Structure 1
Amino acid sequence: MKKIMKVTTLVLAFVLVSSLLETTFVIGGSPFCDSKCAVRCSKAFLHHRCLKYCGICCEKCNCVPSGTYGNLDECPCYRDLKNSRGGNKCP
C-alpha cells in the first residue's frame, strides 16, 4: 500500500511541475505581446495553443490585431505568416 501511495504522489508531483513549466514557456515573451495575446486569445477554445502561436507571431511582427478574431489587415506581417502546410500560423 505504501508503494502505491509513493507512486501516486510522484505522478501527481510530475503533473504539477510539467503544467507549471508549460505555463512558463507559453507566456514568457514581452509584456506588450503577453497583454495583446491575452486579449486576442481570451475566447479561444485552445487557449494555451493560441497564446503560444500568438506570442511567436507578435515577437516576429511587433503587433497583434485588435479583438479576438479577424482584423488581420491591421497587421500585415501577422496576417502573412504561414505554417508548414500553408495555413495561417497566427490566431
Structure 2
Amino acid sequence: MAASKAILLLLAALLFVTTRASSSSLEHHEELKLKAAYSKVLVPAPAPPKLPIVKAPAPPPLVKAPAPPVPVIKPPSPPAVPVIRPPSPPPVPVIKPPTPPTAPVVKPPTPVIRPPSPPPVPVIKPPTPPPAPVVKPPTPPTPVSPLPPVKPPTYPPMPPVKSKEDCIPLCDKRCQLHSRKRVCMRACMTCCDRCRCVPPGTFGNRERCGKCYTEMVTHGNRSKCP
C-alpha cells in the first residue's frame, strides 16, 4: 500500500511540472508576438527575464514490497487405524506318551570267593648262643711319675735406669720396629722416666716392668707404654 501511494505522488508531481512548463512556453510565444507588433517603435522593449529551468525530480527507485510469506498448510494427518490383533488360538493340551513299564533289574549271581590258603609256616630254629668272651684279668696301672715343677723363664737382668739419659738407648731399641717411631719414643721416655724400666725386646714383656708400666693409660683409657 505504501509503495502504491508513493507512485501516485510521483505521477502527480510529474503532471504538475509538465503543465507549468507548457504554460510558460505559451506566455513566451505571446510576448514574441507583441514584440513583432511594436517592432517599429524605436524604444527597445525590456528583455523578458529568463525563467529558471526547473528540472523534474528524478523518480525514486521502485521499492518492491516483500512478498508476504505463504503459510504452509499441513494436510490433516489421517486418524490412526487401530491394530486389530487376531485372537490367539487356544493352547493345545500337551499329551504325554504313556511311560513303558520298567523291566525288572536282574542281579548277576555273586561269585563264591574262597579264602586264600595260609602260607606254610617256616620252621624257626632257636639261635645258637654266642661263645662267651674270654675276660682277661685287669692289668695293674703303671705308676705315673710326677711332673717336674714348671720353672718360670729366666731373663737376663734388666739394665739399671738411674736417669732420663739412660732411657734413650733402651727406648730406641724398643721402638726401632714401630711404624710411628717418634710417638713411640715420646711415650716410652715418659714411662721410663716414671717407672725406671723399659721392657726388653721390640714388643711384649711389659709385665717385667711391673704394674707401674702396665697400668699407665692415656686419656682414652688405652695402654700408654709401648
Whether the TM-score (by the shorter chain) exceeds 0.5 is: yes
**Aligned residues between the structures:** 63
For residue 86 of structure 1, report the CA deviation from its aligned partner. 1.0
RMSD (CA atoms): 1.2
Q: Secondary structure at the match of 1:37?
A: helix
Paired with 1:72 and 1:38, the residues of 2 have a C-alpha distance of 16
2:183 to 49, 57, 62: 49
- The answer for the alignment partner of 1:79 in structure 2 is 214
Under a length normalisation based on structure 2, what TM-score does the superposition of the two structures give? 0.27
Paired with 1:82 and 1:30, the residues of 2 have a C-alpha distance of 20
User: Does the aligned pair in 1 maintain the 2:164–2:192 contact within 8 Å?
Assistant: no
Larger radius of gyration: 2
Identity of aligned residues (%): 35
- The answer for the alignment partner of 1:35 in structure 2 is 169
Q: Secondary structure at the match of 2:198?
A: coil
Q: Secondary structure at the match of 2:200?
A: coil
Structure 1: state its 5+ residue gaps: 1-28
For residue 78 of structure 1, report the CA deviation from its aligned partner. 1.1
Paired with 2:222 and 2:185, the residues of 1 have a C-alpha distance of 17
Paired with 1:51 and 1:59, the residues of 2 have a C-alpha distance of 12
Structure 2: state its 5+ residue gaps: 1-162
1:61-80 superposed matches below 5 A: 61-76=195-210, 77-80=212-215
Q: Write 1 or 2 for the structure with the bigger share of helix.
A: 1
* Structure 1 residue ranges (4+ consecutive) displaced by more than 6 angstroms after TM superposition: none
Paired with 2:190 and 2:177, the residues of 1 have a C-alpha distance of 19
User: Does the aligned pair in 1 maintain the 2:191–2:225 contact within 8 Å?
Assistant: yes
Under a length normalisation based on structure 1, what TM-score does the superposition of the two structures give? 0.65
Task: Report 1 or 2 for greater relative contact order, CA contacts < 8 Å, sequence distance ≥ 6.
Answer: 1
